[in-house]
Amino acid sequence: MRFIPVMLALLLALSPGAVAMQASAPTASTPVESTPSLAEAESASPAENRTLRIDANGNTTAVMTLGIEPDREAIDSLSLALGSSLAMDRGEFRTRLDTTSLNQQVEDAESVEKRKQVLNRYRYRIENRIISLKAQERQAARAFSNGTISEREFLRTLGEIHSEVAQIHRAIDALKRHAGETSFGFDDKSMKTKMASLEGPVRNEVRKALQGRTQSIRVYAATADTGVVLATIKNGQYIREVYRTDNRDPSESGKMSYEEAESKIIVPEFSWVTESENIISGRQRQYPSLNVLRFMYFHSHGNLTVYVDTGTEKIYRTSQYKQLTGETPLPTGPSVSNTSENVTVTVNRTYPGGPLRVKLTNATGAPVQGDVTVAGDHVGRTNSDGVLWTLAPADQFRVSATYDFTTVNVTATPVESS
C-alpha cells in the first residue's frame, strides 16, 4: 500500500496564497550553468545517429545511442523517497487548485474578449513552466555528466520533472476545454509535443517508484552533450528511452512525407523493425507546426516509437519496449559461463545499459534458484527457470551467483556496437 504522503492541511500550508500557475520546477542542488547552443554542441562533439544491436546477426530491432561516448554512465536502484513524493503531491494539488481558479475566472469574465485574455494569460504561464522545466532538465544532465550530483539525485530530478509534466498535460487539457468554448486559437498537441524531452516511459517508472506506487527499480542513465539515455526492466520488459538534443532543431523547417521519412531516415537505422515478417502493425502521426513525424511500430519482440525532425532530417527521440519472456522473447546475446562445484552460471552479454541475462543451473543442467550480484550490487534472485534479467554495467564487470552455499563467479564485458 502506498504511503499517504501529506495531509490536506499540510498541502494548504505549503501552497502559495495565490492560485496562479507556477513557472517553477524541481531543482537540483547545483549551480546554474549556461547551456551550449545546438551549433556549439555539434562543433564541440560531432555526433551520428549510431545504433547498437543486441547481437551480431541483427535479429531484433536496434536501439539508439548518444552517437558518442557518454560523459557518464551509472545504474542505481530507486524506491519511495518521501521528499520527492511530497513535492510531486504538492504539485498535483496546486494544479487542481489552479484549474479550479481558471474555471472561476472564465465563468466570471464579462465578455468573450475578457475570457480570451484569461486564457491567454493561462497559456503564457504554461509556456513559462515548460521553459523552466527544460532549463532544469538540462542543468541536471550537465551536473550529472560532470559529477556534481549523484545518479540518484539526477534520476530523482527527472522523476519530479516528469510528474510536473503530467500536471502541465492536465493544465493544457483544461485550457483546451475552455478554448473550444471561446473560439480561442490553441494547438494543444503541439504544446504537449514540446515537452517530449522531459517525459518518457522510464521517467514515468522512476516517478512511480519515488511515490511508492511500484516496487523498487534499477535504472541505467547515460548523458552527454548530445542527450540522455535511460533504461530499466519492469514486468518482464526491457524499457529504453533516448532523447538526442543534437538532432532536434525546432527553428529549422522542413517537409517530408511519411514514406520519404521512413525510407530515408528510419530504415537505415531500424531496418529489422520495418521488415514485413517482423512488423505486426504501425501508426503514424504528424505535428506540422513542430516539423515532427512520429512513427509507432508494433513488432514480434515489443514496440518502438520514433520521432523524426523533418528539418534536421534526423531521429531525435525513441522509446521502446522489448519482451524478455513469453512466446517471442528478445534474442539473447553472446554467452560466457563458469562452473564451480557442479553449479554453472551463464551470462548473456549485451551493450551498456542493455538487458543482461543470467542463468543458474546444476550439474544436470536443471535450473536452480540463487542470489545474483552484478558489479558488487545484489540485483535479485533467479526464477524457477533459473533466469534473472537485469541491467548491464558500462565496463567490465563480475557476476556472482550463489546456490546451496556455492558461489560461482564470471567476468563479462559489454558487447561492441555494430
DSSP 20: P
Give me the count of residues in the chain. 418
Exposure of 26 in the CB half-sphere (CA atoms within 13 A): 28
Q: What is the predicted pLDDT for the residue at 110?
A: 77
Mean pLDDT in order along the chain per 10 residues (418 residues): 39 35 34 33 41 58 92 94 82 81 82 86 91 96 97 96 93 87 79 89 96 92 97 96 94 91 94 90 88 94 95 96 90 93 95 96 96 96 97 96 95 83
**Predicted local distance difference test score (pLDDT) of residue 168:** 92
Which CATH code for domain 335-412? 2.60.40.10
Where does residue 364 rank: exposed (0-12), middle (13-18), buried (19+ CB within 10 A)?
exposed
Phi-psi group of 413: left, alpha or beta (phi > 0 → left; psi -120 to 50 → alpha; rest → beta): beta
pLDDT at 359: 97
DSSP lists the bridge partners of residue 75 as 220
- Write down the pLDDT at residue 44: 36
The CATH 2.60.40.10 domain(s) of the chain lie at 335-412
Burial label for 338, CB within 10 Å (0-12, 13-18, 19+), is middle
User: 3-class SS at 126?
Assistant: helix
Contact present, 98 and 21 (Cβ < 8 Å): yes
Cut 0.75: pTM above it:
yes
State the cell numbers at 170: 492536465
pLDDT at 418: 57
